[in-house]
Amino acid sequence: MVEKKVSLKDILIDEELIDDQTFERLETKSRQLNKPIEQLIVDTKTIPKHKFLKTLSEKWEVKAVDLDSIEADEEATRLIPETTARRYMVLPFAKTETLLYTAMVRPWDLNAIEDIHLRTNYNIKPFLALPSDIQQEMKKIYSQDTKISDYISKITETSQDTDIKTSEDEDSERQEITLDKVGQDSEKQARKIVNAIILEGLNRGASDIHIEPFERWLLVRYRIDGQLHKSSFNITKDLANAIIARIKIMSQTMDITERRLPQDGRIQITFQKRPIEFRVNTIPTAYGESCVMRILDRSSIHVELSKLGFLKSTLKKYKDILDKPYGIILVSGPTGSGKSTTLYSSLNYLIQKSKATPQGRYKNVTPKKILTAENPVEYDLEEVIQLNINPEIGLTFPKAMRAFLRQDPDIIMVGEIRDRETGQIAMEAALTGHLVLSTIHTNDAPTSVSRLTEMQVPAYLISSTVEAVLAQRLVRTICPKCKEKLNDIPSKLLKEFEELDLPSSKINPCVGIGCKYCSETGYKGRSGIHELLVMDDDIRTLMLEDISSGPIKKLAIKNGMRTLWQDGIIKVAQGITTYEELLRVSQ
């Protein structure tokens, strides 16, 4: 064991590194500043750092370590609590299976060494280090925990409901979100950090939560209004496995021991007395498992069509098409453009309308039978039969569609038309008197029609069954708290207004200047821009001759179709969104 045999003063004077008067002066200053004399000697450059450490190491017969020149093992540094580390001025910086290498200001302190040994069950190998080096490393390690604790305290104060109740907590008391002190049980620590991550995402209105491992940190990001935003804190890497394991446990279906393969799961929680689901996916990466949680708020499926950003004329046309007894209605757009929300809102409109009919007013009578095939089912709908597509066992969209036709449905919703078989069966269902709703991945409405022909669906089937194609995008809306009128309107934008013949009374472009409510972005929330292609006789006739998107788009515009861009320009004029935002999502 290390034993201090010679005093610091005697060593430095004997080695002629310092004189007696200088040492006494530094000693007095050390007491005045409440700062270790070893640190003052280095800070004042009385003795070079490397020479100072080398001399003490040789005289005290203990190895020295310069923490500035090495990278401490984070797993080792967290083996003792912060309070213990600061009390003894010690810092573990590396470990083996049995040994814990520990930087110490007083490597001969047997009480400190014994205490650390009992806490960690490791044999302690002490190293001499300067107080400032240890303090600097402590600042790096423990400041993040303070930030997390401060964040959780702040967010729990501002939230109306700080409890997150999962299905596994049904019979247990809810737990308040707080953070344990460093060094306590990692499983309990991970549980509370996961709750904090979820709580921040819900409070910030995120659609997805990204938990991404990197070399030193676990980065948390939220997709808010289509843009990724960093969390208020990062998490040290040593908790990564525990946090991902906690998320897998919450899903109740994912394997916490499998870290080599992608996994999918679902989590159901109660937040502010409303049910919320998460669709969870994990994938293995170079630094651990990356996790994305898609937030599925059930309240969003009850959004009325009128609140999706439709212009009045477009909404009236769309509702008229939904009221038809049969045919196909397609919603197109890229991933994240709000297609699912539009489909669910359309189904809710049909359900509510059927209940308002005379036959729907009778007790216990549901006039419409609705079947959906989804991959996966995102929201549970009352009185709607929902089928989860599972290609691994052979349950595909075509098989589901064939089975649906034997279930005597009135309305069928297919998650996506992506191949000839699904498209042809959907259209045959429409021919036999069913209303079919589905999505398709295309850039605009006319392209959807030509996309179906690329799938080798016959043109006569398309022209006789498709009633409308609704293309859409989501644009961020201007924050209502910091919204200001745009006085200096760009010439390009003025030209766009002129081309649409918008009256001056309807031109009121605005901009968000940024505030606390919108996190200084100038935007809060999103709204849709739409392009509704209604299949009239002219277009059906053209489709039998030429199915390419160019001629169809030209004829549709001539017959009154408003393009995505034009719809967006009108919303810029109305002060709903900005020209820059429209340029970002449309062409």
Q: What is the pLDDT of residue 364?
A: 59
- CA atoms lying within 13 Å on the CB side of residue 503: 2
pLDDT band at 471 (very low <50, low <70, confident <90, very high): very high
Among 261-275, 527-541, 544-558, whose mean pLDDT is lowest?
Answer: 261-275
What is the DSSP-derived secondary structure letter of residue 15?
Answer: T
Q: What is the largest CA-CA distance in the chain?
A: 106
In a domain, 284, yes or no: yes
Are 179 and 145 contacting, i.e. CB atoms less than 8 angstroms apart?
yes
Are 243 and 194 contacting, i.e. CB atoms less than 8 angstroms apart?
yes
Whether residue 367 is predicted with pLDDT greater than 80 in this model: the reply is: no
Domain boundary among 79, 104, 138: 138
For residue 84, the domain's CATH number is: 3.30.300.160
In a domain, 276, yes or no: yes
In a domain, 533, yes or no: yes
Domain boundary among 243, 270, 297: 297
> Which domain, by its residues, includes 188?
160-297
Is 220 in the same domain as 259?
Answer: yes
Residue-by-residue DSSP string for 432-490: TT-EEEEEE--SSHHHHHHHHHHTT--HHHHHHHEEEEEEEEEEEEEPSSSEEE--S--
Whether residue 468 is predicted with pLDDT greater than 90 in this model: the reply is: yes
Whether residue 540 is predicted with pLDDT greater than 80 in this model: the reply is: yes
Q: What is the pLDDT of residue 178?
A: 36
Which strand (E) or helix (H) includes residue 95? strand 90-95
Is 231 in the same domain as 250?
Answer: yes
Cα–Cα distance between 301 and 38 in angstroms, integer? 66
Q: What is the pLDDT of residue 119?
A: 82
Is 290 in the same domain as 334?
Answer: no
List C-alpha distances in Å: 168 to 25, 172, 270: 65, 8, 11
What is the DSSP-derived secondary structure letter of residue 391?
Answer: G
Domain boundary among 297, 312, 332: 297
Q: Cβ of 406: how many Cβ atoms within 10 Å?
A: 7
Whether residue 493 is predicted with pLDDT greater than 80 in this model: the reply is: yes
Closest CA to 327 of 141, 463, 485: 463
Is 246 in the same domain as 286?
Answer: yes
Distance separating the N- and C-terminal Cα atoms of the chain: 74
3-state secondary structure string across 256-286: CCCCCCCEEEEEEEEECCEEEEEEEEEEEEC
Backbone torsion region of residue 408, taken as left when φ is above 0, otherwise alpha when ψ lies between -120 and 50, otherwise beta: left
Q: What is the pLDDT of residue 3?
A: 52
In a domain, 578, yes or no: no
Q: What is the mean pLDDT of the chain?
A: 83
Report residue 530 as tokens: 């739409």
Q: What is the pLDDT of residue 234?
A: 67
pLDDT digits (tens, 9 = 90+) for 297-353: 766 666 789 899 999 999 999 999 999 999 999 999 988 888 988 998 998 898 888
Cα–Cα distance between 451 and 547 in angstroms, integer? 9
In a domain, 45, yes or no: yes
Residues ≥6 apart with Cβ < 8 Å to 46? 18, 22, 26, 40
Cis peptide before 48 (omega within 30 of 0): no
In a domain, 244, yes or no: yes
Q: What is the pTM of this model?
A: 0.66
User: Scanning the structure block, which residue is given the tokens 């709204």?
Assistant: 527
Q: For 98-130, where are the alpha helices, taking DSSP H only?
A: 110-120
pLDDT band at 173 (very low <50, low <70, confident <90, very high): very low
Cα–Cα distance between 78 and 64 in angstroms, integer? 21
How is the chain split among helix, strand and coil, in percent rounded to 5?
Answer: 45, 20, 35
Is 208 in the same domain as 291?
Answer: yes
For residue 351, the domain's CATH number is: 3.40.50.300
How many domains does the chain divide into? 3
| Sheet with 90-95, side-by-side order of all strands | 90-95, 99-104, 123-128
Cα–Cα distance between 417 and 421 in angstroms, integer? 9
Rounded CA Rg of the chain: 33
Is 459 in the same domain as 540?
Answer: yes
Cα–Cα distance between 245 and 278 in angstroms, integer? 16
Is 276 in the same domain as 311?
Answer: no
pLDDT digits (tens, 9 = 90+) for 108-147: 888 888 888 888 888 998 888 888 888 888 877 766 555 5
Cα–Cα distance between 86 and 291 in angstroms, integer? 35
Residues ≥6 apart with Cβ < 8 Å to 183? 78, 79, 80, 81, 82, 84
pLDDT band at 93 (very low <50, low <70, confident <90, very high): confident
Are 216 and 263 contacting, i.e. CB atoms less than 8 angstroms apart?
no
Is 319 in the same domain as 435?
Answer: yes
Residues ≥6 apart with Cβ < 8 Å to 225? 205, 476, 523, 524, 525, 526
Is 335 in the same domain as 356?
Answer: yes
Q: For 512-563, where are the alpha helices, taking DSSP H only?
A: 537-545, 549-558
In a domain, 491, yes or no: no
Report residue 575 as tokens: 């002060």
Cα–Cα distance between 238 and 235 in angstroms, integer? 8
Is 375 in the same domain as 415?
Answer: yes
Among 176-180, 239-243, 545-549, whose mean pLDDT is lowest?
Answer: 176-180
Is 124 in the same domain as 171?
Answer: no
What is the DSSP-derived secondary structure letter of residue 34?
Answer: T
pLDDT digits (tens, 9 = 90+) for 187-243: 677 888 888 899 889 888 899 999 999 887 888 999 998 889 888 766 777 788 889
In a domain, 206, yes or no: yes
Q: Are strands 90-95 and 99-104 parallel, antiparallel or unpaired?
A: antiparallel
Is 349 in the same domain as 292?
Answer: no
